[in-house]
Amino acid sequence: MVFVRPPSQSAGDDGIVLSIAYISIASKDLSAEELSALVDQSAASNARDGITGMLVYHAGQFMQVIEGPEEAIKALMLRIRRDPRHHDVYELFRRPVTEREFPTWTMTLCNSEALTVKDRSVLSDYLHQVRAGTGVGADREDAARFGTALLEQFCKAMLRHRPC
């Protein structure tokens, strides 16, 4: 599902937006309908708040990037942390950026079922290592870099299937 709607607000006066990425564990296995409802509601409120990003769902785990005006992102992150649909929210990074990674997506879901077997296995290993603090997960910066690269790769794969 790809939402291509320009955000109502883009960035601060200086053109800088805040970008946060995290991983979390779903409280229960979500059906396709529940995931779709979550993304539809998120996309609607993100469009209102000038927020863009991407959500990956894989084997009961989430990985998400949200980017937008600093106050809106901080407020959203607080709401996300309180959401009972998931737990063990672990921030990979929180950083100001001058360019959005996902400028046209108010929220796009990448259900890992759409990924290749190899990509799913790389994602599983990554999530495991971040949780266990081993491999790439032993260093927060490495984990953030690797996570960003993974999300970009999934984003490109999705664009190939469903160009916007």
Ligand X SMILES: Cc1cc2nc3c(=O)[nH]c(=O)nc-3n(C[C@H](O)[C@H](O)[C@H](O)COP(=O)(O)O)c2cc1C
Q: Which residues bind ligand X (CB under 6 A)?
A: 38, 42, 45-46, 53, 55, 62, 64, 66, 76, 79-80, 83, 85-86, 107
Residues 6+ apart with CB under 8 A from 124: 58, 59
Query: Least distance from C-beta 116 to ligand X, angstroms?
Result: 23
Query: Least distance from C-beta 25 to ligand X, angstroms?
Result: 10
CB nearer to ligand X: give 19 or 64. Answer: 64
CB nearer to ligand X: give 19 or 42. Answer: 42
Report the relative pairing of strands 61-68 and 52-58 from DSSP bridges: antiparallel
Inter-residue contact 39 to 107 (CB < 8 Å): yes
Query: To 10 degrees, what angle do helices 32-49 and 70-82 make?
Result: 150
CB nearer to ligand X: give 47 or 122. Answer: 47
Query: Least distance from C-beta 47 to ligand X, angstroms?
Result: 10
